[in-house]
Structure 1
Amino acid sequence: MIVDLLKREEGKTLEFKQDLSSPRNLLKTLVAFANTAGGRLLIGIADDRSVVGVENPLDEEERLANLIADGIAPRLVPNIEMLTVEGKTLLVAEVFLSSTRPHHLRAEGAENGVYVRLGSTNRQADRELIAELRRTVEGISFDEMPMPECTIDDLDLDAARRAFAGVRELHEQNLRTLKILVQDQGRTVPSRGGMLLFGRNRTFHFPDCWVQCGRFIGTDKAKIFDHIEIEEPLPQTVDSIMLFLKKHAMRGADFSDTRRRDIWSIPLEALREAVINALVHADWSQRGTPVRVAFFDDRIEIENPGILPPGITIEDMLQGVSKIRNPVIARVFRELNLIEQWGSGVPRIYSQIAAQGFPVPVIRELGLRVRFVFPLAEAIPVQESSQAASQPGAPSRLESRLESRLESRLAAKIVLLLEKGPAGKAELARKLGHKTVSGELHKQIKRLLNLGVIAMTIPEKPNSRLQKYRLTDGERKQLAQQGEE
């Protein structure tokens, strides 16, 4: 077994270390393993993958155990064993997915010392991800939690009934069965999943419950050709995304059978499965990260916020193993026949791709997102004569470019408002149609300040009630250049 491990690359469940000379990095890896999907740490392996072994293995085993006991909380007890390879002794620390997660480094504290494993790297968890780790241990899903500030009137029941037409009647008991409505302190209120699915004002409660679709010129995001924002009820979103993809694909015809058969340049069935997978498995508790669909000349990327659920690896996904992050959303999608069978989506994507002869897609964990990449069999250059970019209601080309650069729709809107003149937070909130100055607005203003995009009008008194914000000279020049392109 150990010989097989040495042939593998470092990844989500495997890491090599030469010795114990960097205890903090070693402890970060063990914490990340325990919080994510388990893993093995092999000590005594050089960077070039040669076996160098561990000197004084008994002493080093004791030192490792003490480092773990003193440096990690809650208590973590990995299996530590000594194995001999090529006449040299290795230490192998095996960690399983922990039932007492999230673990953290004692020296960094419970708020700053939590790490998760993303590919072959360890990433510090933010507040939302720490909360997600706690929920998974407690058996609580984000979308099943009640929203006591809302009532049944905050649900668009007409949209829900249209979605369920011909499937089932939606009286209050059925809404309870589907957990669109839940009990909270003796009151019946919408669940978070219910609001995500059919809320009248979803983006007020969940600013990133929307889908960003873009068609880019070439193979990077330097130039955007077409862009839409989809803010419909989640079940309707699937068809809207597919319409956008079809609009930019090429369609041919096959007359070899008795009837005409459309031949598309993109794998529509597999893409639809990936879109559904992204909506159902997105971590909607994250801020600043909507679901994104990007169409390039040579590939299509579909990505959703959220790391893979604890205990799940990409290899597990390919085998059909899955954990449902959003059971309310998944149950509704199943009722609407958008999901055929639990855990079958990813294997079906690959079987459809193989049957149609398209290149094999790739799944990647990038930051706190999961991305499905579909390479295209042949490049599809943008048809400049297309009318797609002039679609009614679409954002301006400048706004689309700005949003692509800043990676935030709200940030783009703030910049465009400040282009007209300085404004305070309350004024910006009002112009954006927000009832109050939201936490996300605070966050984006702080981010734009750090990026040097905007500046304070009273920098010597940052907390002044008269404080306003303006565009920096550099940002005004960049906006002018983008507007001329």
Structure 2
Amino acid sequence: MPENQHTEYKQKVTPELEKEVVAFLNSKEGGVIYIGIDKHGEIVGLPDADQEQLLIKDRLKNNIVPSCLGLFDLALEQKEDKDILKIIVAGGYEKPYYVKKYGLSEKGAFIRIGSAAEPMTARQIESLFSKRVRNAIGNIQSPKQDLKFQQLHIYYQSVDKTLNEQFARNLELLTEDGKYNYVAYLMNDINTVSIKVARYKGLDRVDLIESNEYGYECLVKATKQVLDKLQLENRTSTKITAKERQETRLWNAIALREAVINAFVHNDYTREIAPKFEIFADRIEITSYGSLPSGLSQEEFFEGFSVPRNKELMRIFKDLDLVEQLGSGVPRILQAYPKESFQFSENFLRLSLPASEEIAPQDTPQDTPQDTPQDTPQVEELLKVMDGQHSRQELQDLLKLVDRENFRLNYLQPAINAGYIALTLPDKPTSRNQRYYLTQKGKNTIK
């Protein structure tokens, strides 16, 4: 594929890399830069891609203003047995972006036109600057300044990362005058953000039969709690035919997870409105506040072009392996559900996922344990390999599983919810020292 408005090839890392990234940041949809492919599209590879990856991340972090952290993603790929680097750049919210050493000028600000990064005119710079979003959550001061981040520290430790004394600045949790911003408020241990997960008896909101409230805590913890709740609700029904045993989830597990993460990361929190999750007899609806970002069309949205509303949240969620790659969420959802599942309005974005069968009120996980996810072959397989205490990684190795989220969603969490497996540190579920062991109920199950 030749270079175009969204694709740039570079044989090696050059001094002009920042210029190309800035041009994509200032464009509407962003783009992708491949390092290790020449201008003709021929793959040449990189001798030390890992080292180049570190250098690129450092350059983009320090040489572009405003900060583009959370707006780019680096991926190491292999093509024709050669290593190349893929830099995915999202369109930024705080345009115009510019190369720091040249300042906000025609020499430092660029925009993508066709397959080239062109200097922006003074008029273009002034126009974009006048429209710059100033009410982003990174610029809004936290309603309180006495914040604690114990939960956030634990989540970073759980993925073998450590937050140092400068973490608030490194994660962009501070305003320009050094005060905690609204991102910090969302990430601290106690806040006022309430997340609702509701269940209704029929097809409308008339008959509420169950209401769960999460939140008032680190947004990462609230996200994980909602994921776990919906994972439990996403029961597996089994049909045994003459030829095979057929198992079907109410909703596609990958699409459901991506939808939940997207709702949390891209929600507009400036009005203190949180995403909500509603289960009806025939569907689940996930609603987030804030419609499409200005300038992003519905077609571009469906194609996976990314304009993160909350780049700071995106960066943290990616650090914690909750987000895999910029722009991957919507395409993954569309692999399982049609575009018509998305509803756009002036102030909200709603995703409606139809259930594979009717969700009767009595079919809750508590009422019909034989239909819940814990009865799946994956859980049975997990229980059989356990002997003593194991770390998460040890269990994945025993099962020969690479995908951590697949292991958590389909093996570990259902087994814990069923009471088959217990934690050695129940008060610190994400501790790096956490181990898992069979309960008596689990041992009885495999006898």
| Bigger relative CO (Cα 8 Å, ≥ 6 apart) | 2
TM-score of the two chains, using structure 1 as the length reference: 0.44
TM-score of the two chains, using structure 2 as the length reference: 0.48
Larger Rg: 1
